[in-house]
Amino acid sequence: MKKPLAIRIDAELLAATRDFARRDNRTLTNFIETALRRRIEEMMGPAPDPNAAKKKGHEA
């Protein structure tokens, strides 16, 4: 479930973010959410694949 979030952001950063979202054919929200997910993955490593056990079982 998605939750609304109100934040303050520098006007120039917001303008650039809107521009890049438009170039990537994304909504501003989707662009920011995707950027946050990528950054979190960089910091924590990728999330485990929930199908990994199934895949491994098929290889045996």
pLDDT for residue 20: 98
Give me the number of domains the chain comprises: 1
* Distance (Å, whole) CA 37 – CA 33: 6
pLDDT for residue 58: 58
The boundaries of the domain holding residue 31 are 11-59
| Position 1 in a domain | no
pLDDT in tens, the chain (60 residues): 999 999 999 999 999 999 999 999 999 999 999 999 999 999 997 677 778 766 665 554
Residue type for position 58: H
| Position 48 in a domain | yes
pLDDT for residue 22: 98
**Whether the Cβ atoms of residue 41 and residue 47 lie closer than 8 Å to each other:** yes
| Position 2 in a domain | no
| Position 45 in a domain | yes
pTM of full prediction above 0.75: no
| Position 3 in a domain | no
| Position 6 in a domain | no
CA distances from 10 to 2, 24, 48 (A): 24, 21, 34
